[in-house]
Amino acid sequence: MNNESRPKWRKVAYGGRQPGYDDNHTDESFLEEMVMNANVVKRDLLKVMIDSVSISQYLCIVALVVSTWTYTLNLVIDEVTLLKLDTSLLLAGFSMLLLTASPFSLKLLSKYVLNTSFFISGLYVLAPIYQTLTRSISSDSIWALAVCLLLVHLFLHDYSGSTIRPPGALNNPKLTSNISLNASIVASVLVASRLPSRLHVFAIMLFSLQIFLFVPLVAFCVKKFSLRLHLLFSFALMIMTLGVTYQLHHMFFILLLALLVFISIVCPYWLIRIQEYKFEINGPWDEAKLCFDITE
């Protein structure tokens, strides 16, 4: 069949074979629709560094928890001091949530108070169980398991949000963030079970759960409320954490400082540099994509 007698080739998605043309036939307009690097996002180094602050901030929070655990197990911090610290954290957290909540309401305040009272009461009742939970397990095994669980917690943590959702949130937490939260709670229980008294166990569990449950929520609300306040809080937290870890152990301090520099400076720089080598080609050969939200 010559070119004049066969029908003109048309681009069809599900039309089957067209007479006179192969299945893989393309005309001269095929490469005209090729687009290079259409979806490549131009990133700014400063913005990427600011975004990485959330990761560094939470790393410092976990480092503070570990430092508090160590001081408590060595009986440097007694239960009364821990309870005072718990109360201070609770009041500070409530204040930040209410200041950043929009709009403020007495109903929201009463809901927070009621949920917190139930939470603290249940924790106090369960404290004797936590105290004797790992009596037959050696301390080395407890610490090894706690470290592994904290690593799981850090790897799976939702750094862009909070597992405990703020009021009015539409999306449910991800599965990985729930696993991360559970890992931190189990690690807290393991550490608390090595303490000598029921009040000690209650105080350290309350401290740990306040940090792992509510501090990410407070940090998320602060970040939504004001980026400047978020950065100020994060840098102050980093300085305080480095000071605490320096007094605890110099090697711990060096490791934490190296991680903060790596996360906040080196990784953003690498991300910007590798953008130069990103090469993406899009064209009519790509699979079709929906141009509307399928959930609507």
Angle between helices 227-248 and 45-73 (to 10 degrees): 40
Which pTM value belongs to this model? 0.77
Q: From residue 158, give the alpha-carbon distance in Å to each of 58, 180, 217.
A: 10, 8, 11
In this prediction, residue 20 carries a pLDDT of 64
Domain ranges for the chain, please list them.
52-275
Q: What is the mean pLDDT of residues 198-212?
A: 90
DSSP β-ladder status, 281-282 and 35-36: antiparallel
| Tens-digit pLDDT profile for residues 209-259 | 889 988 888 888 888 888 888 899 889 999 999 999 999 889 999 999 999
Res. 29 pLDDT band, cuts 50 70 90: low
Whether the per-residue pLDDT at 173 is higher than 90: the answer is no
| H/E segment holding residue 230 | helix 227-248
pLDDT of residue 99: 78
Residue 36: strand pairing partners: 281
Q: Is 213 exposed, middle or buried (0-12, 13-18, 19+ CB in 10 A)?
A: middle
Cα separation, 188 vs 26, in Å, equals 63
User: Which pLDDT tens digit goes with each residue over 69-112?
Assistant: 999 888 888 888 999 998 998 888 878 877 776 665 677 677 77
